[in-house]
Structure 1
Amino acid sequence: MERKALAALCLLALVALAGCSATGSLSMETADNAEIAEAASRPAVVDSPAPDDRRVVRKAVEDGSGTATATDPPVQQGLPLAYEGSYYEIDWNVTGTEPGTAFAVGVDLNGTAPANETVGFEELSERDRRLLGDLLTAMSERESRLRPGPEVAIPEEYTIAETNESVLLSGEYSAVRHNGTVYPFVLEERREVTLTRYRYTVSRAADNTTAYAQQLRGEHLFRLSGLSETERSVVNDAIDGVYYAEDTDDEAFRSIMDQFSAESAIEADGSDGTWLVRYDGQVYVAELSYGGFDQNDRPVTPNQRTRSVITSVEA
């Protein structure tokens, strides 16, 4: 999730500045319903240039199911998907395979090309236009770059039918004209691949943020209590900040970690996790990192939410 990734980046930056590496860490932030729901969700990959991910998600939510063809699932399984104010669980199964083409197209933001090697955007195949449309629109609104050569590279996979219809892959052109601007492109890493067909299905997990947050409280909220003075010091340092355990001899941190391990995490793996905690009357989203402790000491709690999901898509 974005919040967790940001916390991890901040942790890495702080550790680097300190000139050492922490064995474990704990951070806790007060959380209202919206923040609880955000902590238990992750953004779907729907930003340009990923129109297929957006299409798969929207079709699955709006129609109850959707399909995609790729070497890997375009929409990964995970936590719930927020879409137009509601939350959905999304799952997929494999329905077959077929041959396809994988490649990367590099786009030059300030280049030129011969007129006879330039094709109009409207002349591209539908699949080509889906691939380049959002990107070229965004690039048209940006200032020109001074550096020569391609500045944006887009990996993509086409079915054989899409390959046969593609103007980009035909080899006849080296540039696209979009809204009056010419964008040279180069094709790289082209190869034949086996594509998998995925069928996505969705079900509603919660009607709104409040309902979802209440559901999360019921499933994951636990009380952190009965702490010693040194344990309270760990937690107090973690609130609106970060507590660092410098080595595995930190018994106060280990004791806190043991309490977390007995509870249901929103999400946890072999190195860190996210929990929902009540402490001194306040509700917190807690990010616990324990990767430096022995494997048997790591609180990898099976997530009670076994449903497959994702979050945050643009309407």
Structure 2
Amino acid sequence: MDSLSRRKLLGGCAAGLLAGLAGCSTDAAMFVETVETPTAVGRKATDGPEREPRDSDRAELVAAAVNGGTNRSDSYGPPYQPDRPVVHNDTVYTLSWSEATRDTSRTEHEIVLTVHDDDRATDAEFADLPAVDRERVDPRMVETAVRRVEDTDEEFPVDYGARFYWPPAEREASALVPEPQYDTIEIAGQPVELSVEPTTVSLDVYRYTASERASSVAAFGRKLRRDHRFELSGLSKPEREFFDRVRSEGSFYKGSFDDVPDGAFKGLADHFVAEPAIFVENTTGEWLTRYDGTDYWVEIDFVLLDEYEQRLHAVESL
């Protein structure tokens, strides 16, 4: 389940925001994936191009950290905080970061979209904007503003504001900053006036460095197999039938809607929380287990099961 964040899905379900979507009213969730080779194990335990192939900023940051270290600035904290080792050119590294003793600033732009609902003339359409602008000003902003009118007593025109950063090179290609070239643009079928205001934002500076952990993803996977894999055995018949089902289907969401005996999930979960997880983050643990001669990567998110969350514990070191 890579295209939609598991945690976002579960968080939305727990809040009751995605009624009708599989996994809503979820007490817990389990994901099981076969990992037949050391490379497959290593990829599950690292963050690299396979996970975010289109994130060029992240790849550049990791490459720079490997090649002597790099600084990155952000107003919201470290821009990249992986929860596991990272991969660069098939070598596995531990990425470290710390706040530098200095800070910096940059110019960002407050964009206010004033959405109208009339037949006034427009100067351009959204598709006419350069790519650097379309990547920031999303038609969903206008759609959200329209829904505000539909769902409340608010009336047109309605404003939607957001702040964005255009690097200097992209600023030169922009039709919106530093001054908009158009007064009114058709976006999502609505005439939209734009106003732009520059603002200076203070940024913290973070120093990133990297230290080698393994010469290859496969070598890292072999180490995890040797040090942290455990044999899943001693299951009761209901537990075994349940795990067979989950490994076949790939995932399971536990809640009032499921058709699995309560004892089957909890009994199986007991086997996992008794073992140190390779990774623990909030309510989630990840394990490497061997079952019936095959290796599996198992992730369990104990969304609402506090008694299991409290029993999660991680390996002392990778």
Same structural fold, with TM-score higher than 0.5 when normalized by the shorter chain? yes
Are 2:96 and 2:208, in contact at CA under 8 Å, matched by a contact in 1?
Answer: yes
C-alpha change, 1:46 and 1:236, in structure 2 (3 Å) is closer
What secondary structure does 2:82 align onto?
Answer: coil
Are 2:27 and 2:253, in contact at CA under 8 Å, matched by a contact in 1?
Answer: yes
Mapped partners of 2:110, 2:217: distance in 1: 39
Root-mean-square deviation (CA, aligned residues, Å) is 4.4
Offset at 1:84?
A: 1.2
Are 2:48 and 2:88, in contact at CA under 8 Å, matched by a contact in 1?
Answer: no
Offset at 1:157?
A: 7.2
Mapped partners of 2:95, 2:217: distance in 1: 17
Matched, 1:85 2:97: no
Within-5 A mapping of 1:1-315? 2=2, 5=5, 16=20, 21-32=25-36, 33-43=38-48, 52-61=57-66, 63-71=67-75, 72-95=77-100, 96-103=102-109, 110-111=127-128, 132=132, 155-156=164-165, 167=172, 171=178, 174=181, 190-241=198-249, 242-246=251-255, 250-295=262-307, 297-305=309-317
Offset at 1:214?
A: 0.7
Tell me which amino acid in the other structure corresponds to 2:216: N
What secondary structure does 2:128 align onto?
Answer: coil
Tell me which amino acid in the other structure corresponds to 1:269: E
Mapped partners of 1:260, 1:4: distance in 2: 25
Offset at 1:304?
A: 3.3
Mapped partners of 1:243, 1:196: distance in 2: 41
- For residues 135-171 of structure 1, give each alpha carbon's deviation from its aligned partner in whole angstroms, at most 9, with x where no partner exists: 7xxxxxxxxxxxxxxxxx993377xxx79xx656973
Are 2:230 and 2:289, in contact at CA under 8 Å, matched by a contact in 1?
Answer: yes
Offset at 1:29?
A: 2.2
Which consecutive unaligned segments of at least 5 residues does structure 1 have? 113-120, 122-130, 136-152, 176-185, 307-315
Offset at 1:39?
A: 1.2
TM-score (norm 2): 0.64
What secondary structure does 1:74 align onto?
Answer: coil
Mapped partners of 1:19, 1:268: distance in 2: 21
What secondary structure does 2:313 align onto?
Answer: coil
Tell me which amino acid in the other structure corresponds to 2:28: G
Which consecutive unaligned segments of at least 5 residues does structure 2 have? 114-123, 136-161, 183-193
C-alpha change, 1:299 and 1:16, in structure 2 (3 Å) is farther
C-alpha change, 1:132 and 1:226, in structure 2 (3 Å) is same
Are 2:10 and 2:24, in contact at CA under 8 Å, matched by a contact in 1?
Answer: no
Mapped partners of 2:3, 2:228: distance in 1: 18
Are 1:89 and 1:202, in contact at CA under 8 Å, matched by a contact in 2?
Answer: yes
Tell me which amino acid in the other structure corresponds to 2:105: P
Offset at 1:94?
A: 1.1
TM-score (norm 1): 0.64
Mapped partners of 1:154, 1:263: distance in 2: 46
Tell me which amino acid in the other structure corresponds to 1:31: V
Mapped partners of 1:285, 1:187: distance in 2: 50
Are 1:24 and 1:289, in contact at CA under 8 Å, matched by a contact in 2?
Answer: yes
Are 1:27 and 1:240, in contact at CA under 8 Å, matched by a contact in 2?
Answer: no
Identity %: 26
What secondary structure does 1:235 align onto?
Answer: helix
C-alpha change, 1:109 and 1:244, in structure 2 (3 Å) is closer
Task: Flag the structure with more relative contact order, 1 or 2, with Cα contacts below 8 A and sequence separation at least 6.
Answer: 1
